[in-house]
Amino acid sequence: MNDEQQESIWAKAVPFKEQVTIFKRLMKFVKQFKTEMIIALCGAFLVSVINILLPRGLQYFLDHFLLHQSTSVQIILFAGLLYAIGSLLKAIIQFTYQYLFALGSEKTLESVRRALYRKLHQLGMRYFDQTPAGSIVSRVTNDTMTLSNFLTVLSTVVIGLFSVVTALVAMFTTNVVAGWIVLVFVPILLFVIWLYSQKSSRLYRNYRERLSRINANLNESIEGVSIIQQFNQEKRMTNHFEGENGGLMQTRFNMIRVNSLLLSPLTSLLYSLALAVSLMYFCFPLREVFVPAGVVYAFSQYISQLFNTISTMMDQMTFFQDGIIAGKRILDDEQYEPQQDAQAGLTINRGKIEFKHVSFSYDSKHEILHDVSFVVNPGETLGIVGHTGSGKSSIINVMMRFYEFGKGQVLIDDVDIRKYPKEELRKKLGLVLQEPFMFYGDIASNIRLYNQEITDDQIKKAAQTVQADQFIEKMPGKYHAKIIEGGAELSQGQKQLISFARTLVTDPKILVLDEATANVDTETETLIQEGLKRLRKGRTTLAIAHWLSTSQMLIKLLCLIKFELLKEVITKNCLPRKAIITIYIPCKKMKAKINAEERLANPQTFFLL
């Protein structure tokens, strides 16, 4: 999909009905703090009533006391004192409800962010394959913060509705005809609000998506900066960013134009017209009934309150629309169903693995695995080799339930893996990846991985078993040596050894190595192989690689390979001794078992070229 197509999709306004749906779904988070919100709403209603009573009190004072020369100083002081007390009471209540609204807003924001973060960890890998990392970060940070502004605005809108209703009631109780005159302008205001909603919804959705694209672009550029510099792509990436940034700026310009036209200026114009028409009515020379000055003053105050409130609400519509779009982006993640998890109860004790006619596809169109079957008994080691894209890592992804497979069964200890709780499954399957990730903290926390039940002695024992202690003991601080995110101060081999220790300390029943020694030097690999000998004791092991060292490590070998390469491998006599080879040809029901012992005398290494 090109940028123009994306633009046309993102530029679509969110329909009013959908906005209402989004609003209702967001309210379920607000309801968690309904006590604070109810008290705040009561306070807002009281302030609206006080806003009506103060002008009405001044109206009475003007008409009955101030215009009479006989009015005493005591009455004037008493009236001023009452007005001051009313204003002070209004300020106290206003502070209280604004504080409670802000408190509820922040609590709601924390609840939304927590729910979103938890949901992200419940989603399978398909979601992360389809969604750029920068876009995900933008939803958790930018969109939730925008949602916070939206919730703050919500309080302003609710208060505004109270003020509008009380102002209309006050106007009609003051003068019915003048009230109807002012009411004529309200439908015009409502039309302006509707028009603004339609225009701004499209613009704000466009703005949020463009901002998300910039975040994704920045994230990609930072992570791939070495590749960008290596291939002299700085200028192209800069031009691409400037194009995205320019598009964001143009969207902001469009938003400013709409806000400048449809918000305060138009509302102020309507206010001036309403005030002028009402004053003309009160001062019309043919009127038979004299209108007291207090009534004119009070009515003009109510008009001011009505239109100023609506103007404020329209100003806040900017954030309201922004919040609706942010809320939609956040709630869109709910369309992704979390992986189903079994109830606690079953445990993995032996470590037997069996694939029964398993088929799997990442996109539901192109099969990566087709009718794959094999068995690994407890304590055995299975090597999985094959060309790039043959499905080696897909076997691990299926077994770890990172992705759900389509057909067949995957059994551990003769039980379908979908019947095990994910926590139990991933606790008993120790996975070591080709690219280990180091978290910010120290070496101990990276081995423990925030599991406080793991003791320091267990950490040291695991490190010693995989030979990681040889470099850890030489570092300043040893196990408390600081690690930055990504572990830039560690070599690839050191990070891999820490990853082995991280896996071992959980005492898994099944060890899974996904090309775990592919990026390490020969010396480090020797250490790792020594560690693997100890790590494999009493454990079922699956080892994925383009090549597998130490033939003694292999008991079984699963070869995912095209038929054309099969002949080349066999004729080169490079299969490990005493290995039972299962040849799997993708998307074809053709398998063969070859006794490699007849072909080899003393091999040390298996190579798949």
464 in any annotated domain:
no
Residues 398 and 536 in one domain: yes
14 in any annotated domain:
no
Does the pLDDT value for residue 409 go beyond 80?
yes
Residues 73 and 143 in one domain: yes
The percent of the chain in helix, strand and coil, each rounded to the nearest 5, is 65, 10, 25
Largest CA distance in the chain: 127
pLDDT, one tens digit per residue, over 450-467 is 777 888 888 888 888 878
439 in any annotated domain:
no
- Phi/psi for 61 (5° steps) reads -65, -45
Does the pLDDT value for residue 597 go beyond 70?
no
In this prediction the pTM is 0.57
CATH of the domain at 160: 1.20.1560.10
185 in any annotated domain:
yes
The whole domain housing 372 covers: 353-434+512-607
306 in any annotated domain:
yes
User: What contacts 608, CB < 8 A, 6 or more positions away?
Assistant: 385, 386, 387, 546, 547, 559, 561, 565, 569
The CB density around residue 354, as the number of other CB atoms within 10 Å, is 16
Q: Which residues pair with 549 in a beta bridge?
A: 605
CATH of the domain at 549: 3.40.50.300
Pairing of strands 540-545, 510-514: parallel
- The C-alpha atoms of residue 78 and residue 82 are separated, in whole angstroms, by 6
* Mean predicted confidence (pLDDT) in 389-405: 81
Q: What is the pLDDT of residue 287?
A: 56
Residues 320 and 405 in one domain: no
Residue predicted with more confidence, 439 or 15: 439
Distinct helix (H) and strand (E) counts, the chain: 21, 15
Residues 191 and 97 in one domain: yes
pLDDT, one tens digit per residue, over 234-276 is 788 888 888 888 888 888 888 777 777 666 677 778 878 888 8
In this structure, which amino acid lies at residue 369? L
Residues 312 and 376 in one domain: no
54-68, 231-245, 305-319, 567-581, range with the lowest pLDDT: 567-581
∠ CA 288-289-294, nearest 5°, is 150
Chain centroid to Cα 236, Å, comes to 29
455 in any annotated domain:
no
Does the pLDDT value for residue 359 go beyond 80?
yes
487 in any annotated domain:
no
Does the pLDDT value for residue 6 go beyond 50?
no
How many percent of the chain have pLDDT more than 90? Answer: 0
* Mean predicted confidence (pLDDT) in 157-184: 84
User: What contacts 13, CB < 8 A, 6 or more positions away?
Assistant: 198, 199, 201, 202, 205
How sure is the predictor about 601, in pLDDT bands with cuts at 50, 70 and 90? very low
Enumerate the H helices of 376-455 as residue ranges: 392-399, 422-428, 443-448
- Look over the chain and give the mean of its residue pLDDT values, rounded to a whole number: 73
How sure is the predictor about 598, in pLDDT bands with cuts at 50, 70 and 90? very low
Q: What is the pLDDT of residue 80?
A: 80
349-358, 508-517, 525-534, range with the lowest pLDDT: 525-534
pLDDT, one tens digit per residue, over 46-74 is 888 888 888 877 777 776 766 666 667 77
- The C-alpha atoms of residue 280 and residue 260 are separated, in whole angstroms, by 30
- Phi/psi for 355 (5° steps) reads -105, 130
Choosing from 335, 368, 394, the residue where a domain stops is 335
Q: What is the pLDDT of residue 11?
A: 37
Choosing from 275, 307, 335, the residue where a domain stops is 335
Q: What is the pLDDT of residue 341?
A: 59
Residues 373 and 256 in one domain: no
Residues 305 and 358 in one domain: no
Residues 320 and 362 in one domain: no
* Mean predicted confidence (pLDDT) in 474-488: 81
Choosing from 335, 362, 388, the residue where a domain stops is 335
* Mean predicted confidence (pLDDT) in 35-40: 80
Does the pLDDT value for residue 7 go beyond 50?
no
Residue with tokens 């024992």: 461
* Mean predicted confidence (pLDDT) in 430-443: 81
Pairing of strands 407-412, 353-361: antiparallel
Residues 238 and 363 in one domain: no
Q: What is the pLDDT of residue 524?
A: 67
Q: How many CA atoms lie within 13 A of 78 on its CB side?
A: 8
What element of type H or E holds 226? helix 225-230
Using CB atoms within 10 A of its CB, is residue 230 exposed (0-12), middle (13-18) or buried (19+)?
Answer: exposed
Residues 193 and 278 in one domain: yes
Residues 603 and 553 in one domain: yes
Does the pLDDT value for residue 518 go beyond 70?
no
Residues 140 and 266 in one domain: yes
Q: How many domains does the chain have?
A: 2
Q: What is the pLDDT of residue 566?
A: 45
How sure is the predictor about 379, in pLDDT bands with cuts at 50, 70 and 90? confident
- The C-alpha atoms of residue 266 and residue 313 are separated, in whole angstroms, by 13
How sure is the predictor about 591, in pLDDT bands with cuts at 50, 70 and 90? very low
173 in any annotated domain:
yes
- The C-alpha atoms of residue 416 and residue 422 are separated, in whole angstroms, by 12
